């Protein structure tokens, strides 16, 4: 195939949530937009398509939620305590989970725009619903939302991306598939477009007045993971798309963009031990295993190695994948009994799961492949004897039902493992996205190494650095992508049209 060229006002590199929010915002502003998707049409949608769709936003009560979910009815409201999640709550959670390293300007921009951006998404055709199945437990006939998350997209990531693609196409956005951007074109300091490898056998030059980079991090690139995250990270599974190879970041760095953020950090979770190397769209996020706060986790030696109940799942799951990867053999087993089995999330019931069950702890120990049986039995006995039974168990709050006297205490939700049948699930590390990326300003403009805006270059989504360090508040990724994607699209259109 011969080389050829295309042109548009704006080129968006990537086709996930952040990219399409940028494309839609730019098209709404009157710009001609081309989206470059490295995947085929069947695999389109980036990491966003693999998510459960939870979005962390500010809301000051149920009436504001009704602006996003207008079909909330009186029966829903009667049985549910939605609570509220304020600006200060959100800011404190970002500061706490990132150990005060997150860029305060970007954090403030993210939080202030979270609610209005989700309302804007609804106007683009994205539907939302209460996240009952993942973020609320029923106690005494009433659901209570915990951990700051109340909404998710209808149909999860598949529903989200289906709605965004439909809206983009309605607005005339052109989407080119199997088009992997390889190089940014720059002339006299201004971006003029990108070079693209099209279907592996042609080079397209896409001429544009501005470029929005929204092609994800380097999580699917084993070489870059080992180089930046450290030894052993090439062995981690990838939760989402196989196409996020880091080119958006490396293209920008090659022309002088400033790197920013936690380059040795990533969002990494407990992921089924026998999951494939990359995400499976048929299973989606079902390989994750996030009910560990209600049980214990042991390594190959048979020892617990972290505090399963340190905080709500939303504030620990994205860092515990790293802890699991660091264990002997890069795996762990999650252990539960019948007392809490009804609290396990739906992902524990999928067909593709590494699971064993037994009527006694001793028999279960025989089934835990790779685990020292004697030490495991001792661990369970010591754990059972250390629980502060006088404190009541309550899954919707940090109940303080802790252990006392263990080398690694469990801070909340501690229950004896004594009620058969017993279940165990083998997990390894699954990487969602990497935290290191490009430095941007409040207009989503990419900054160079002298902290100057690079004319015509914008960024949004996973490849933005400076927001997440060490850890991550659940549901912030999609919100961040949408907020900064919308800003990048609007600002790039303003630049292109002037």
Residues 141 and 103 in one domain: yes
442 in a structural domain: yes
227 in a structural domain: no
Residues 411 and 457 in one domain: no
343 in a structural domain: yes
Query: What pLDDT, on the 0 to 100 scale, is given for residue 3?
Result: 64
Order of strands across the sheet with 128-130?
54-55, 151-153, 128-130
Residues 461 and 415 in one domain: no
Express each pLDDT in 294-333 by its tens digit.
Answer: 999 999 999 999 999 999 999 999 999 999 999 999 999 9
109 in a structural domain: yes
Residues 399 and 485 in one domain: no
Query: What pLDDT, on the 0 to 100 scale, is given for residue 4?
Result: 67
pLDDT score of 277 more than 80: yes
Express each pLDDT in 433-477 by its tens digit.
Answer: 999 999 999 999 999 999 999 999 999 999 999 999 999 999 999
Express each pLDDT in 65-80 by its tens digit.
Answer: 999 999 888 888 888 9
Residues 202 and 324 in one domain: no
260 in a structural domain: no
Residues 78 and 198 in one domain: yes
Residues 353 and 488 in one domain: no
Residues 410 and 451 in one domain: no
CATH of the domain at 396: 3.90.700.10
Q: Please give the span between the terminal C-alpha atoms of the chain, in angstroms, as a whole number.
A: 36
209 in a structural domain: yes
Measure the CA–CA gap between 398 and 406, rounded to whole angstroms: 19
Domain boundary among 377, 395, 430: 430
The pTM assigned to this predicted structure is 0.95
Express each pLDDT in 350-403 by its tens digit.
Answer: 999 999 999 999 999 999 999 999 999 999 999 999 999 999 999 999 999 999
**3-class state of residue 322 by DSSP:** helix
Domain boundary among 430, 451, 480: 430
Tokens of 216: 């994800």
Residue 211: domain span: 4-219+435-497
Residues 361 and 214 in one domain: no
Report residue 1's pLDDT band, with 50, 70 and 90 as the boundaries: very low
Q: Are the C-beta atoms of residues 300 and 327 closer than 8 Å to each other?
A: yes
Domain boundary among 402, 430, 458: 430
pLDDT score of 181 more than 60: yes
106 in a structural domain: yes
CA distances from 67 to 131, 146, 305 (A): 16, 21, 43
134 in a structural domain: yes
DSSP line for 228-246: II-TTGGGSEESS-TT--S
Residues 406 and 356 in one domain: yes
Residues 86 and 169 in one domain: yes
CATH of the domain at 195: 3.50.50.60
Query: What pLDDT, on the 0 to 100 scale, is given for residue 2?
Result: 54
Query: What average pLDDT does this structure show over 119-133?
Result: 95
- The count of structural domains within the chain is 2
Residues 35 and 182 in one domain: yes
Express each pLDDT in 38-67 by its tens digit.
Answer: 999 999 999 999 999 999 999 999 999 999
């Amino acid at each position: 195939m011969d080389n050829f060229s295309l042109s548009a006002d704006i080129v968006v590199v990537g086709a996930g949530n952040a990219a399409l929010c940028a494309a839609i915002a730019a098209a709404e502003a009157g710009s001609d937009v081309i989206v470059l998707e490295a995947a085929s049409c069947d695999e389109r949608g980036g990491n966003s398509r693999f998510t459960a769709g939870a979005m962390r936003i500010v809301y000051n009560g149920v009436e504001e939620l009704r602006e996003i979910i207008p079909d909330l009815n009186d029966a829903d409201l009667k049985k549910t305590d939605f609570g509220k999640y304020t600006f200060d709550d959100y800011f404190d959670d970002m500061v706490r989970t990132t150990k005060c390293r997150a860029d305060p300007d970007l954090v403030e921009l993210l939080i202030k725009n979270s609610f209005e951006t989700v309302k804007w998404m609804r106007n683009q055709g994205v539907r939302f619903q209460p996240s009952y199945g993942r973020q609320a437990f029923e106690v005494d006939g009433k659901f209570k939302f915990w951990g700051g998350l109340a909404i998710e997209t209808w149909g999860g990531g598949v529903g989200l991306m289906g709605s965004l693609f439909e809206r983009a196409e309605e607005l005339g956005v052109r989407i080119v598939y199997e088009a992997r951007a390889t190089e940014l074109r720059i002339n006299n300091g201004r971006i003029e477009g990108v070079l693209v490898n099209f279907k592996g056998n042609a080079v397209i030059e896409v001429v544009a007045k501005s470029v929005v980079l929204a092609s994800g991090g380097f999580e699917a690139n084993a070489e870059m993971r080992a180089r930046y995250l450290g030894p052993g990270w090439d062995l981690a599974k990838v939760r989402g798309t196989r196409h996020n190879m880091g080119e958006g970041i490396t293209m920008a760095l090659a022309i002088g963009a400033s790197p920013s953020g936690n380059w040795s950090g990533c969002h990494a979770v407990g992921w089924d031990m026998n999951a494939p190397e990359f995400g499976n769209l048929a299973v989606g996020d079902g390989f994750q295993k996030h009910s560990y706060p209600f049980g214990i986790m042991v390594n190959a030696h048979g020892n617990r190695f972290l505090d399963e109940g340190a905080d709500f799942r939303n504030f620990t799951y994205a860092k515990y994948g790293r802890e699991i990867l660091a264990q002997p053999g890069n795996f762990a087993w999650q252990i539960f009994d019948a007392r809490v089995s009804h609290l396990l999330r739906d992902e524990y019931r999928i067909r593709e799961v590494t699971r064993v069950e037994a009527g006694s702890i001793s028999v279960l120990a025989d089934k835990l492949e790779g685990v020292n049986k004697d030490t495991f039995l001792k661990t369970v006995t010591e754990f059972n004897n250390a629980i502060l039974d006088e404190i009541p168990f309550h899954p919707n709050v940090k109940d303080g039902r802790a252990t006392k006297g263990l080398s690694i205490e469990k801070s909340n939700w501690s229950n004896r493992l004594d009620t058969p049948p017993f279940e165990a699930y083998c997990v390894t590390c699954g990487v969602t996205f990497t935290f290191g990326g490009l430095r941007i300003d409040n207009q989503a403009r990419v900054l160079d190494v002298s902290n100057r805006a690079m004319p015509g270059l914008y960024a949004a989504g996973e490849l933005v650095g400076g927001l997440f360090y060490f850890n991550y508040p659940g549901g912030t990724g999609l919100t961040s992508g949408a907020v900064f994607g919308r800003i990048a699209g609007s600002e790039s259109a303003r630049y292109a049209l002037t």
